[in-house]
Amino acid sequence: MSDRTIGLLTDFGLQDTYVGIMKCIIDDLAPEATVIDLCHEVAAQNILSGAYLASTVIPHLPDGGVLVGVVDPGVGSNRRAIAVDVGGRYLVGPDNGLFGMVLEHHDADTVVALENSRFFRSDVSATFHGRDIFAPVAAHIARGVSLEDLGPTVDTGDLTQLPFNDPYLGDNRVECHVIHRDRFGNLITNLSRADLEGWLEGSDPRVELDGRKVSLEKTFSNSSSGEPVAYYGSTNQLEIAVNGGDAARYFGADQGTSVLIQRA
pLDDT digits (tens, 9 = 90+) for 148-199: 999 999 999 999 998 777 899 999 999 999 999 999 999 999 999 999 999 9
Any idea which of 79-83, 136-140, 163-167, 250-254 has the lowest mean pLDDT?
163-167
Given 158, 191, 213, which residue is the final one in a domain?
Answer: 158
The answer to whether residues 36 and 94 belong to one domain is: yes
Domain of 237 in residue numbering reads as 168-263
The answer to whether residues 21 and 112 belong to one domain is: yes
Residue 264: is its pLDDT beyond 90?
no
Please state whether beta strands 205-209 and 258-263 pair in parallel, antiparallel, or not at all (unpaired). antiparallel
Give the containing element (helix H, strand E) for 33: none
Predicted local distance difference test score (pLDDT) of residue 1: 44
Question: Which residue did the predictor score with more confidence, 264 or 29?
Answer: 29
The answer to whether residues 56 and 129 belong to one domain is: yes
* Total number of domains in the chain: 2
User: Per residue in 60-70, pLDDT tens?
Assistant: 999 999 999 99
The answer to whether residues 90 and 120 belong to one domain is: yes
Predicted local distance difference test score (pLDDT) of residue 2: 55
The answer to whether residues 30 and 139 belong to one domain is: yes
Given 124, 158, 192, which residue is the final one in a domain?
Answer: 158
61 dihedral zone (left: phi>0; alpha: psi -120 to 50; beta): beta
Q: Quick one: which of 77, 18, 26, 66 has its CA closest to 42?
A: 18
The answer to whether residues 193 and 91 belong to one domain is: no
Q: Say if 196 falls within a structural domain.
A: yes
Residue 122: is its pLDDT beyond 90?
yes
Given 158, 176, 209, which residue is the final one in a domain?
Answer: 158
